[in-house]
Amino acid sequence: MVVILIDMFFIIITSEVDNMTNNKTIYILLTYSGSLLSKCIYVYTKEPYTHVSIALDSSLKELYSFGRLHPSNPIFAGFVKEDIINGTYARFPKTRCALYSLEISDFQYYRLKKELYKFKQNGDKYGYNLLGLFGVVLNVPIQRRYNYFCSQFVATLLDNSGINMFHKPNGLVSPRDFRECRKLKLIYEGMLRSYSSDLELCNEFS
């Protein structure tokens, strides 16, 4: 009850002001790793990127998506906190990427963190919406409770946080929609390994 009252108070106080100003920055990472699934998606879409993740920081330490639960096992997938240096990306050192920034309000950021918290708390319940990928091909959104594919997850997370990006069902959002979204600002494009190396170099001299 106390938590609900605090949330209501926060909404009343901040919604009038925060939605008028963008004080926070989040990041959208598009990647192509060369994994079997990414190759299959590329064959169909011919898009340069096949995977979408969302980050709360430019160093990508708080990076989330739906993908492999274990780097060496492509079968089991679900909600994951990704690591651009270790884990799955370490198995695909030639991963290409495009990193975009998006300015949002304090209130939207607050809601985004609350939505992420729900995924973190119930991580074991979530699985990969493989059927949803076929739904994109057929232009028929396939919604499955606790199941998402990567771009569907990021689109749903943003939508539930009051960050409206696309005029289509979340189950039809693809990496291409993010790449072509004018609300996003491209800040880096190239090899993911090079980006992580630059970060490490900056940390050494900071």
Q: What is the pLDDT of residue 178?
A: 98
Query: How does pLDDT run across 18-61, given as a tens digit for each residue?
Result: 445 679 999 999 999 999 999 999 999 999 999 999 999 999 99
Instruction: Give the DSSP letter of residue 144.
Output: B
Tell me, what's the pLDDT at 203?
57
Of 48, 58, 53, 56, whose CA–CA distance to 68 is shortest?
A: 53
Q: Which domains does the chain have, with CATH numbers?
A: 21-205 (3.90.1720.10)
Q: Are 131 and 160 in contact (CB under 8 A)?
A: no
| Helix/strand/coil for 2 | helix
Residues of the chain with pLDDT under 70: 1-21, 199-206
Q: Which helix (H) or strand (E) holds 79?
A: strand 73-82
Rounded to 5 degrees, φ, ψ at 13 are -70, -40
Looking at every residue in the chain, the average pLDDT score rounds to 88
